[in-house]
Amino acid sequence: MAAFPEIEKIRYEGPESKNPLAFKWYNEDEVVEGLTMKDHMRFSVVYWHTFRGNGSDPFGAPTMVRPWEDGTDSVENAQNRARVAFEFIEKLGAPYYAFHDRDVAPEGATLAESNRNFDAVVQVLKEEQERTGIKLLWGTANMFSNPRFMHGASTTCNADVYAYAAAQVKKCLEVTKELGGENYVFWGGREGYQNLFNTDLKREIDNLGRFFHMAVDYADKIGFKGTFLIEPKPKEPTKHQYDSDAAACINFLRAYELTDRFKLNIETNHATLAGHTMMHELDYAGMQHLLGSIDANTGDLLLGWDTDQFPTNVYLTTEIMLTLLKYGGVAPGGVNFDAKVRRESFEPIDLFHAHIGGMDAFARGLKIAAAIRADGALADIVKDRYESWDTGIGAEIESGNHNFESLESYMLEKGEASPNKSGRQELIENLINTYL
C-alpha cells in the first residue's frame, strides 16, 4: 500500500506555478554549463532525518506522524520503511540517497545479529534501487548513538570498542559496495574530547589514522572503489571534535598520508559552527583538490547549535554553486540534504515541501552562479586585483626566481611599494545582487 497515495510525481512547472508540490526552478533535464541540473547537483535524500527523525528534542517527546510505522523496532517494520523511503525519493525525483547502517536496520543484541538485520533490510534496499534506478551516494556507520561509543569509536580509550567499530565499518563497507555506493563517509561523531586532562591526544589521533588506513586496506581487498570522505564538524556532541574544520581535516589527512584516498564532505551548519562560511570551507577544500561532496542544510543565525534546517537562502546556494563550479563540480559526490523538518512540521507532506524547497533553492543558485560566470564581471575584478602578479616582479616571484636578498635589492632600489588598489567589496556585493 502506498504511503503517499495522494502525492503524484513532483514535476517542474516553472517559476509562475502556484502549486506547492511542483518545482519552480529545478528542471532536471535543463542544461547549464553543459550539464543537466540533475547531474550538476546529484541530489540525495538522507535516511536518518527523513525516515528516522521523530521530532523529539531534549525537552519533548516525538511529534512526527508517520502512518507507515508500526511502532516496533522489528526487521519487518524496517523493511517496510525502506519501501516507503523509495516511494518518497522516487516521487520527489532525487537520484540518490544516503544512510547510516543503524538507520536502515535495527541493532541486535550482538554484532552478528546486527549484521543479519542489516542484510535483511539491504535485500529490500537493493530491490528498490533496481526497481527505481535510485542510487546510493554514500553509506556510513553510526558509531556514536550506542552507549558503547561514549568515549568515541576509532579514538576511544577502550580497545574493544575500537575493534567493534572496525567490525562495524568492515560490514558497512561491504554493504556500501554491494549497493553500488559511490562514496563512504566518516563523520567523527564522538571522535573528540570533553576534557584534555583525561585525554591522550596523540594516542587517540594516531589510532584514528590507523583506523582509516585499515578502512582503505579493506576497501582495496574487496574492490570498493568509492571515495572516502571525512565530514568536518567542530563540536557537538563532543566539546572538541578532531575533524573540526576543513583545514584541520586536511592537516590530519596529510600527516597520516591519506590524501590519495580521502576527500571532504562539507556541511553548511558544521562550517558555521566552526566560525566559517560554507563558501570558505568549500574553497579551502577545493583549492587542495579535496572537495568531495556536500551535506546541504543551514543553521539558524540566532541559535548556536546544529539545527540542520533545509536550505532556502538563494544567496547561500549561489555561493555554494559558484564554488562547486569553480572546482569542476561535485561528482562523484552530491548535494546531500542532511536536513530535517522542524518538530512542528509533523505531517508526511512537510517532507515534500522541505525537499522541494531545497532543490529549488539549489537550482536557482546554479543558474545564478552560471550567469555570474558567463558575464565574467566578477572574474575580471579578481583578475585586476591580482594583476601585479601577472607581469614584472610578481611573475618573477611566482616562477621561483627570487629570494629575500634579491627582493631586498629590488625594494631598496625602488624605495616604496606601488600603491594598492581598492578591494571594491561594496561594488562586488552590489554586482552579485544584480544577478539574484
Q: For Co ion, which residue of 28, 87, 174, 338 counts as binding (CB under 5 A)? A: 338
Q: Is 187 in the site for ligand XUL (CB under 6 A)?
A: yes
Tell me whether residue 187 or residue 224 sits nearer to ligand XUL (CB atom): 187
Q: Is 140 in the site for ligand XUL (CB under 6 A)?
A: yes
Residue 325 CB, nearest distance to Co ion (Å)? 22
Q: Is 295 in the site for Co ion (CB under 5 A)?
A: yes
Residue 187 CB, nearest distance to Co ion (Å)? 6
| Inter-residue contact 86 to 68 (CB < 8 Å) | no
Q: For ligand XUL, which residue of 87, 128, 182, 231 counts as binding (CB under 6 A)? A: 231
Closest CA to 208 of 173, 255, 265, 246: 255
Q: Total residues at the site for ligand XUL (CB under 6 A)?
A: 11
Q: Is 182 in the site for ligand XUL (CB under 6 A)?
A: no
Binding residues among 360-389 for ligand XUL as defined by CB under 6 A: none
Tell me whether residue 170 or residue 367 sits nearer to ligand XUL (CB atom): 170
Closest CA to 139 of 62, 223, 226, 58: 226
- Residue 306 contact among ligand XUL, Co ion, none, beta carbon within 5 to 8 Å by kind: ligand XUL
Q: Is 306 in the site for Co ion (CB under 5 A)?
A: no
- Residue 285 contact among Co ion, ligand XUL, none, beta carbon within 5 to 8 Å by kind: none
Residue 397 CB, nearest distance to ligand XUL (Å)? 41
d(CA 121, CA 335): 25
Binding residues among 320-339 for ligand XUL as defined by CB under 6 A: 338
Q: Is 295 in the site for ligand XUL (CB under 6 A)?
A: yes
Binding residues among 45-74 for ligand XUL as defined by CB under 6 A: 48
Catalytic residue among 103, 245, 308, 338: 103
- Residue 140 contact among ligand XUL, Co ion, none, beta carbon within 5 to 8 Å by kind: ligand XUL
Stretch that binds Co ion, among 25-33, 259-267, 272-280, 421-429 (CB under 5 A): 259-267
d(CA 362, CA 313): 9
Q: For ligand XUL, which residue of 40, 81, 233, 263 counts as binding (CB under 6 A)? A: 233
Q: Is 281 in the site for ligand XUL (CB under 6 A)?
A: no
Q: Is 204 in the site for Co ion (CB under 5 A)?
A: no
Residue 139 CB, nearest distance to ligand XUL (Å)? 10
Helix/strand/coil (H/E/C) assignment for every residue in the chain: CCCCCCCCCCEECCCCCCCCCEECCCCCCCEECCEEHHHHHCEEEEHHHHHHCCCCECCECCCCCCCCCCCCCCHHHHHHHHHHHHHHHHHHCCCEEEEEHHHHCCCCCCHHHHHHHHHHHHHHHHHHHHHHCCEEEEEECCCCCCHHHCCCCCCCCCHHHHHHHHHHHHHHHHHHHHCCCCEEEECCCCCEECCHHHCCHHHHHHHHHHHHHHHHHHHHHHCCCCEEEECCCCCCCCCEECCCCHHHHHHHHHHCCCCCCEEEEEEHHHHHHCCCCHHHHHHHHHHCCCEEEEECCECCCCCCCCCCECCCCHHHHHHHHHHHHHCCCCCCCCEEECCCCCCCCCCHHHHHHHHHHHHHHHHHHHHHHHHHHHHCHHHHHHHHHCHHHCCHHHHHHHCCCCCHHHHHHHHHHHCCCCCCCCCCHHHHHHHHHHHC
Residue 355 CB, nearest distance to Co ion (Å)? 16
Q: Could you confirm whether 103 is annotated as catalytic?
A: yes
Q: Is 245 in the site for Co ion (CB under 5 A)?
A: no
Q: Is 308 in the site for Co ion (CB under 5 A)?
A: no
Q: Is 245 in the site for ligand XUL (CB under 6 A)?
A: no
Q: For Co ion, which residue of 128, 174, 245, 267 counts as binding (CB under 5 A)? A: 267
Q: Is 243 in the site for Co ion (CB under 5 A)?
A: no
**Residue numbers at the binding site for Co ion (CB under 5 A):** 267, 295, 338
**Residue numbers at the binding site for ligand XUL (CB under 6 A):** 48, 100, 140, 185, 187, 231, 233, 267, 295, 306, 338
Known catalytic residues?
100, 103
